[in-house]
Structure 1
C-alpha cells in the first residue's frame, strides 16, 4: 500500500457488527505489543496486555449515542475512532491508525472527520478526550490541532485488565478539550 496515495484516497463510514474483529486487531496493533512499535502511538512501554476487546468494541459500534468511524483505503480498514454524543460535547476515543501507515496524515484526516461529525451532523460545540499524561508526544500532537490541556486528571483503572496491565504505578488521564464552533 502506498502511504502518499492513502492520504488522498480515504473513505469514511460507520462501523457495523461485522467490523468488530478487524477493529479490535487494528486498535491492538496500534497500541500494544511489538507491532505497535512500527508506529509512534505505541503504549507498549507503559502497558502490557490488551487495549480493548471484542465486547468493548461491539458496545461502541452498537451505542445509539455514538458511532465508530472507519477509514478505509481500497476496502481495507486503515484507521478508526469512536465519537460519542454526551451532554453538550462529543467524546473522542478508541483512535487508531495502522502502525506502518502512521505519520502520513491519516490521523489528521480521521480527527478532522470526527470533528466534522460533532460540529456539522450533531451540532455540538466541543470535542473532549482523555490521554495518558505520560504520552507527552501524543498530547503535543493534539495541541497542534487545537486541543487544550485542562489539567483535569482522572485515575487509570488499575486492576481492570480490560484496559491493560500497567508497567508503572503513576498512570493517569488528562482531559483535553477543543471548541469546534
Structure 2
C-alpha cells in the first residue's frame, strides 16, 4: 500500500508541473498465458479479442524525450483450465505504469514498468462455489504510439509479468502471462 501511495504522489507531482497531454483510450487486447497441468505439461492459452480502457498523461521533458503515466483496466477473461464443471480463469487487471520514452516526429516509443492488480477465480459451475483472488504483480513492457492527428493516436504494445497462481479446483497452475494491446487514444488537451 505504501508503494502505491508513493507512486500516486509522484504521478500527481509530475502532473502539476507538466503540460496537459491527458488522454482516454479504448482498445482490443489479447492475453497469452503459460499454464502447467499436473506439474509436467506446459500449456499455452490465448484469448483474443477482449478490451482495455486507458487514462494517462504524456509529459514532455524536452523536444525528444518524455515520460508517461497511465492507469488502465484490462478485461482478460482467459480460461486457464477446466475440468468438468470446474473452471480456472484469469479475469481482469487494473494497472498503473510509468513509461519513459522518446519521440521522432509523429512516432513515440516507450518502455513501461508498473504494477497490476490481478483478479482471478476458481469456479465450480455445478455447485456454484467460487473462490475469488485479487493480488499484485509487477510487469514490464514496450509500446509504440503513432499520432495521426493532434488529438488522436494509435498505440500498439505488450506487457509481461511472472504471476504464479495455483488453482483450488483443477490441477492447473498459472506461471506467467503477456497481454498485447491495440488501442486508440483521444487527447483531451
Verify same fold: TM over 0.5: no
Band the TM-score falls in, shorter-chain normalisation: under 0.3
Which has the larger share of strand?
Answer: 2
Which has the larger share of helix?
Answer: 1
